[in-house]
Chain A
């Protein structure tokens, strides 16, 4: 049995802090400029929208102090633009630490924001979102406006989460970044491991290795079991096209292809944020900022 690493738990897929501005946009004081700040357990994201369209965003790591992380994320979103904090007409805080976004006019649940943001990024056709994070799995069904109709969160059991995959990668001594591709290096898809439980699956894996299975085959069997698990959660909330996968595991081709297989549905591809597309990580922040605009307008009518 491998000993757990004696270091702070790290984010499964390592990502860089960065900020981006959509340079061909401009703003004036008549525009409804809103911001959403999403403080997650690992990353803090902020997005600035002009009249409901994404203008800039920033992603930083959440530190031990939530209000500071919120401030830092918003500063990053503002950096590179010529906006000041005062120009923001409405700020919505969300996420794990939504109550700790000091500059927010309002706090809204992260699920509502995530669904709204997914609707913005992928369009009104998206209906089902599978979000696989480092420590939880969320299955969301929404309508064409991005309003949540059904929601399930699983943070009780590590199976399928980034953390669970990390344990398995560790056991098989395969670098985490390669885990997706490694699980595809097999001649024939093996049956899934019988244990959902990561702790028990580890024992099962050791037995399979002793039987002569290659690391890749064992990984495939485990990934398959995890894909089945995630698919069951999606079916619980109701699978409807279009379907998207967000979160760390969205970059794991072994999981994505198997989930698509089990559900018999292809998921929409994620935008390439590296080449200018919207980063799915900021879905929550975008959604929050969109709610900000709606709330601002509602207040104006009073």
Chain B
């Protein structure tokens, strides 16, 4: 009975997954806010409580995420790419292409038939390439983030927007609203632009089925629809896509804990 924890220290939110022999006992998420270490401590305690465990029950804790360098009280680290790949294969054994679109970064991983990651590509340091783009456009449209997806599905076409930069995009949206362009069409343009970028990134690796989508943005129906259109292939999405990183880290923790028991 190997009990482990996976900790994903994302720039926006910290996610925790507690496993017992690779069965999920609990998953908790909390916004990093201005004191990420405090948030990490709090969400860890919460996850343990939900799982009905104490920290001494845990054999191994593995951390991942953008903030992994500042993690304390952990046993090991793992890259975000490896964590995503591990989680993807675990959830969908036939997964060969795994795409993670988060708040500030997007990446894609290619796996072979043994579930080993053989290549990856990352999109970082430019807000236009990740969820931050959707967030900013939603603000400019004066629409709640969670309403962007359903809104975009109402549109038949996408308005022309400057999709290369969050800042220019915001200006464009304001102008379009002044010109009475429809919000659904603007929302769709936002997702189409994101999907365009993500699919170009994935094409670099080769689009091999099954394709799995994870990360915070994977919950958005608007983005899913645009990406399916762009990639022209079926996409599998797990039930809790934003916990993929934490899950992958926890799975790695189990592997390492078992190895050290031998």
Is A in direct contact with B (CB under 8 Å) within the complex?
Answer: yes
Could you tell me the distance between the alpha carbons of A197 and B165 in the complex, rounded to whole angstroms? 9
Residue in B34, B126, B168, B174 whose beta carbon sits within 8 Å of that of A197 in the complex: B126
- Is there an interface contact between B171 and A9, defined as CB atoms closer than 8 Å? yes
- Is there an interface contact between A158 and B139, defined as CB atoms closer than 8 Å? no
Main secondary structure of the interface of B (DSSP, over half): helix
- Known A-B contacts A197-B127, A198-B166, A199-B127; the reply to A163 vs B171 at CB < 8 A is yes
Residues of A within 8 A of B153 (CB): none
Residues of A within 8 A of B125 (CB): 195-197, 200
> Does A25 interact with chain B (Cβ within 8 Å)?
no
Contact with A along B59-91 (1 / 0, CB 8 A): 000000000000000000000000000000000
Shortest distance from the beta carbon of B10 to any chain A beta carbon, whole Å: 13
> Does B192 interact with chain A (Cβ within 8 Å)?
no
How many interface residues does chain B have, given as a range? 20 to 34
> Does B136 interact with chain A (Cβ within 8 Å)?
yes
Could you tell me the distance between the alpha carbons of A7 and B136 in the complex, rounded to whole angstroms? 16
- Known A-B contacts A197-B126, A200-B125, A200-B127; the reply to A6 vs B174 at CB < 8 A is yes
Contact with B along A171-209 (1 / 0, CB 8 A): 000000000000000000000000111111000000100
Shortest distance from the beta carbon of B145 to any chain A beta carbon, whole Å: 12
- Known A-B contacts A8-B178, A200-B104, A200-B125; the reply to A135 vs B136 at CB < 8 A is no
- Is there an interface contact between B167 and A158, defined as CB atoms closer than 8 Å? yes
- Is there an interface contact between B168 and A135, defined as CB atoms closer than 8 Å? yes
- Known A-B contacts A3-B139, A164-B167, A199-B167; the reply to A9 vs B132 at CB < 8 A is no
Q: Using A9-B171, A197-B126 as known contacts, list a sample of 20 further A-B pairs with CB atoms less than 8 Å apart, ordered by residue number in A.
A: A3-B139, A4-B139, A4-B170, A6-B174, A7-B174, A8-B174, A8-B175, A9-B174, A135-B168, A157-B126, A157-B165, A158-B165, A158-B168, A167-B167, A195-B125, A197-B125, A198-B166, A199-B132, A199-B136, A199-B167
Residues of A within 8 A of B166 (CB): 158, 197-199
Could you tell me the distance between the alpha carbons of A196 and B125 in the complex, rounded to whole angstroms? 8
Of the A-B pairs whose beta carbons lie under 8 Å apart in the complex, a sample of 18, sorted by A's number, is A4-B171, A5-B174, A6-B174, A9-B174, A135-B168, A157-B165, A158-B165, A158-B168, A163-B167, A164-B167, A167-B167, A197-B125, A198-B166, A199-B132, A199-B166, A199-B167, A200-B104, A200-B127
> Does B37 interact with chain A (Cβ within 8 Å)?
no
Could you tell me the distance between the alpha carbons of A135 and B169 in the complex, rounded to whole angstroms? 12
Shortest distance from the beta carbon of A232 to any chain B beta carbon, whole Å: 15
Which residues of A come within 8 Å of B, CB atoms? 1, 3-9, 135, 156-158, 163-164, 167, 195-200, 207, 210
Give B11's nearest chain A residue, CB to CB: A203
- Known A-B contacts A163-B167, A195-B125, A197-B125; the reply to A4 vs B174 at CB < 8 A is yes
Shortest distance from the beta carbon of A212 to any chain B beta carbon, whole Å: 13
Could you tell me the distance between the alpha carbons of A200 and B103 in the complex, rounded to whole angstroms? 11
Residues of B within 8 A of A9 (CB): 171, 174-175
Residues of A within 8 A of B175 (CB): 8-9
Which residues of B come within 8 Å of A, CB atoms? 34, 104, 125-127, 132, 136, 139-140, 164-168, 170-171, 174-175, 177-178
Residues of A within 8 A of B177 (CB): 6
- Known A-B contacts A4-B170, A157-B126, A200-B127; the reply to A207 vs B34 at CB < 8 A is yes
Residues of A within 8 A of B126 (CB): 157, 197
- Is there an interface contact between B178 and A163, defined as CB atoms closer than 8 Å? no
Shortest distance from the beta carbon of A213 to any chain B beta carbon, whole Å: 14
Could you tell me the distance between the alpha carbons of A103 and B63 in the complex, rounded to whole angstroms? 67
Shortest distance from the beta carbon of A259 to any chain B beta carbon, whole Å: 21
Give A203's nearest chain B residue, CB to CB: B11
Could you tell me the distance between the alpha carbons of A11 and B68 in the complex, rounded to whole angstroms? 42
